[in-house]
Structure 1
Amino acid sequence: MSEEERLPTRPTSLPDRIKMAMQSPEDYYIVKYLQMTVERVVIKLEKTKMTIDYGEGFGQFVLSFTKDSFKNLPEDSLPKPFSILGIFHGLVSKFTEPERGFDMRKWFDYLRDIIISTHIALDFGPGVECFSFEIIKRFLHGMDVSEIIIPELNNEYFRKILYEYPTVKYWVLAHEGPRDDEIYKEIMRRDTFHLCLQPNCKISLDDVSNCNIVNLEIWYTPDTSNQLSQKDLNTFLKNWINGSNPNMKSLSIKMEFEELDFEFTNNVLAGINYTDAPNYRRRKFPRSFMRHTGTDKDMIEYKGGYDFFRKDGLRGTIFYALDASYGDLASFRFIVWPNFR
């Protein structure tokens, strides 16, 4: 009889699977045999809490720590949670450790044996400094981190993360404290797949034209005085036509506005030979070109736009429109089409 036949009811939610795995070593290996696969897991570290989020439809686990968990830790050891909750569709399940001595890394490895993901994202939340940088290094030792999300950190802490993980390909930065522009520029000089910069960052035309980023996303607010100008974007497109940014697939800029600029497209395309694609013409673009999730069969649909060609024959398109999902927000997007030589 196979392992699947021995399961009277195949557990579907993460908490159900973990509960079954904890019943006995035999049940653990049965559940491990029926491994679940998710596209992305997010480990969020914040003050006295670690959340392991497997995404919509799968659920998350929340490990809570006391302040004393971080005090007087023996060398090479990690904090142990006092509470572990599994959350699935609003239902909360409480868990106890399968065996004594389960620290934060042992919990993650235990779950990782049951839920497989090739993309691990690390999200640093408010108060994360209670996890010393040495604790984070021990927790991540041997772990292949693909993405780092940093919404708010002091520069010293951020700089340590930046230089400790030089091979990370996805960065989401919304640094709101005192700004250190060299930190952003360091990432832009790297071989980076995706970089999202929230407001309060100073990025110049030279930074964008000389970067080695595949997908660059920038957010601006009306009071952002250091944003790229329409003339800068026009120069960037001309540089791309002449061969700059050979690896770039997408440049996206979200701009909050007080009044929509109807001359934006004309100014950005000034001096460029382009064709106007009608709105009824719908074209599909592989989502995997711009995101860590999805396959080449998972497509984003675009309509309209303005097409032009680089000197080597690659086709580029820009779009400029209101972003219906955000209200007073205009969206500029430049994409490079695959296989359109």
Structure 2
Amino acid sequence: MSPGFPLFRLPDNVVLSVFQSMEVIEQMLLSMLSMKTKKIVCSLNFPLRKMSLGTCAPCELEIRFYSIIINVVFEKSEREDAETELLEIKRPERVRFDAGRKVNYALESVDCQWGNGTFEVRDYIDHFMEILNHDRIDELTVTGDDAYPPESIQQLVNELDIRQLSFSDWVSDDNVITYLNAIKPTRSFYLDRCSLFDWNHTRMSQFFVQNLDYIIPDEEERTCMRRVGTYEERTETFSGGSYIRRNDGTEAIVHAEYLRFHLILQEMLLSMLSMRSKKIVCSLNLLPECEEISLYKYASCHLLFRLYPFYISLRFEKFEKDAEREIVEIERPERVKFHLSRIVGNRDESVNYQWENGIFKVRDYIDHFMEILHHDRIDQLYVMREDAYPPEEIQRLVNGLEIRQLTIYEQNSEDDMMIYLNAIKPTRSFCLERSPLFVWNHTKMSQFFIQNLNLIIIGNAPLLTLDDLLLMNASEIQIVTTRMTGKDFNRFLKHWIAGSNPRLRYLWIGCQLTDDFDEEQYERDLLQGIDHRKMADGEERTYGRHMGLYEERTETISGGSYIRRKDGTEAIVHAEEIFFHLILQ
């Protein structure tokens, strides 16, 4: 961009305002056109979060803002015989620029590429560090890819401040030592999945003595801070452990988390030995608070417990006869499989047991664990389409239990679904997913819609009508697919303004997508004849949505219009592609 370019004939403050009005992606691309554009972009002070460099083929520089991720990829052409040679990373032949960000539930992306001339990879790194006012590489990730030998990476980052050095995939012992000798991270290093790394104490001792921030490989509660990244920290709470003190007075806590893992295992298993052992385990209250007990109906029946950070499952099985599955009575299983696991770092710790069952029924196990865990409900009941356990069996299994959420997956028949919905009355929510074979029966369904539920989720509801929607008495409704139109939603809004659906706080519903669908006409139909006020440009509002039975998440919305019910309640109406939102303040 020459000094005579029309933009630069304007006053400097006008040129700066033009640059400020651009997207970050455009600003970064313009910074590479000339020294003048680079200087302007430098003055914008980008809010950069992290800059990372990866050595996999091809070499990649990741620039992470809070809402946008940009990847600058440096490529060499491959030989005609399709064999990639060991590449000199110094001067790439081609540069690819990819940028992406999440907007609501969609991913917006931009990509472009150009043939490189005389610029080296280090030139690009220095350039972006300068315009972003960033003085370091936050993370250098090394993989087991031989496209770029360690010596090339060593030369590439010479004299740069590398905050964290990470090894992933299969990196040989010699290459790990080469990197550790050449690249001295100033905050941390991370050795992940390096089973080929033959530990050499003499060679490794020099790295352990560096002043790094961290190396990754009772009733009283204490909190501690630990790192979850190069800069981020999190607060964790733990109980138990022992205090020790150093000669200089420094106090520390030694905590045997691995022992806790096995104590929980022993408690759960011991509780099944006798009534006396069960009573003892109940009285100890040593088990962590149970977050959730869920029951899954697959080809075998599963009972799942979530006790953070532990996951426990019991699987109840019947033996098959001649490789043909009969209709199985779920009441008394022949075999029980017990699985306890937790995630520690990047690995899964687990133990498995199984035993042949005697006289105990599945309901006996459910009642037993609800008692020792001091849990008075089934949080979720998941029903899959499997003939191994007919609906009547599940109905008898959970009779008298509180079911918080009933979820029916896959293509269950209408008759089976009606049996479940008639027999099992969830107290908080129900979810009908991927059920295109479900022929909507308005008379039968009305009794479920009028329940005071927190949440109704329906995947495919092509026969849903306005009357069905008006009957729903849930506080949150999510329906992915219907054949309703903008005019149908307009009639719903007029009913809502008059006082219908008084418990509703959030509605998200998809209309019918046709070949002649017109989004602008759809938005006009929504608010036809309704007094409304458009949200101002740039105005944003936050609202809460359910993530599950107990958790909520906060989301932000911009655009849309305000409407008001006759009792003064205000809501936002928002149309996004084929989806219609009604959000109460």
TMscore range, shorter length: 0.7 to 0.9
Structure 1 distance, partners of 2:557, 2:356, is 49
Pick from 309, 313, 319 the counterpart of residue 564 of structure 2: 309
| AA in 2 matched with 1:202 | L
Give the letter for the 1:173 counterpart. L
Question: Which residue type is aligned with residue 297 of structure 2?
Answer: L
1:172 aligns with 2:431: yes
Q: CA deviation at 1:11?
A: 6.5
Residue 327 of structure 1 is matched in structure 2 by none
The aligned counterpart of 2:311 is 59
Q: State the one-letter code of the partner of 1:137.
A: Q
* Partners of 1:107 and 1:162 in 2: CA distance: 24
Match of 1:47 among 299, 302, 308: 299
Q: Distance in 1 between matches of 2:374 and 2:265?
A: 10
| Shift in alpha-carbon separation, 1:177–1:71, aligned structure 2, 3 A | closer
CA shift digits 1:41-83 (9 cap, x unpaired): 432111124252639954351504124598796xx94334342
Equivalences for residues 70-149 of structure 1 within 5 A: 77-89=331-343, 90-96=348-354, 101-112=359-370, 113-114=372-373, 116=375, 120-127=379-386, 129-149=387-407
Larger CA deviation: 76-85 vs 195-204: 76-85
Partners of 2:469 and 2:312 lie apart in 1 by 37
Residue 268 of structure 1, CA deviation: 0.6
- Percent identity between the aligned chains? 15
Question: For 1:1-341, what aligned pairs fall within 5 Å after superposition?
Answer: 9=256, 17-23=264-270, 25=277, 28-29=281-282, 32-38=285-291, 40-52=292-304, 54=306, 58-67=310-319, 77-89=331-343, 90-96=348-354, 101-112=359-370, 113-114=372-373, 116=375, 120-127=379-386, 129-151=387-409, 152-166=411-425, 168-174=427-433, 175-177=435-437, 179-182=439-442, 183-220=444-481, 227-254=483-510, 257=513, 261-278=519-536, 280-287=538-545, 292-294=549-551, 299-321=554-576, 330-337=578-585
Question: Is the 8 Å Cα contact of residues 48 and 67 (structure 1) preserved in structure 2?
Answer: no
**Aligned counterparts of 1:99 and 1:81: Cα–Cα separation in 2:** 5
Unpaired segments ≥5 residues, structure 1? 221-225, 323-329
- The amino acid that maps onto 2:526 is V
What SS does the corresponding residue of 2:483 show, helix, strand or coil? coil
Higher mean Cα deviation, 93-102 or 265-274?
A: 93-102
Q: Classify the secondary structure of the residue corresponding to 2:285.
A: helix
Provide the alpha-carbon RMSD of the alignment.
3.8
Superposed CA deviations along residues 224-265 of structure 1, whole A, max 9, x for unmatched, are xx6111101011111211222222222211458577723322
Measure how far apart 1:13 and its partner are: 8.3
**Could you tell me how far apart the structure 1 residues matched to 2:362 and 2:349 are?**
22
CA contact (8 A) 1:80 1:103 kept: no
Deviates more, 1:246-255 or 1:274-283: 274-283
TM-score by length of structure 1 reads 0.76
Give the paired residue count.
318
Cα separation, 2, equivalents of 1:55 and 1:227: 42
What's the CA shift for 1:177? 2.3
Which consecutive unaligned segments of at least 5 residues does structure 2 have? Answer: 1-217, 221-238, 243-254, 272-276
Question: Looking at both structures, which has the greater relative contact order when contacts are Cα pairs under 8 Å and sequence separation is at least 6?
Answer: 1
SS in 2 for 1:185: helix
With over 3 angstroms needed to count, the CA separation of the structure-2 counterparts of 1:157 and 1:72, relative to structure 1, is closer
Q: Tell me how far apart the structure 1 counterparts of residues 465 and 331 of structure 2 sit (CA, whole Å).
A: 44
Once residues 450 and 428 of structure 2 are traced to their aligned partners in structure 1, the CA distance between those partners, rounded to angstroms, is: 12
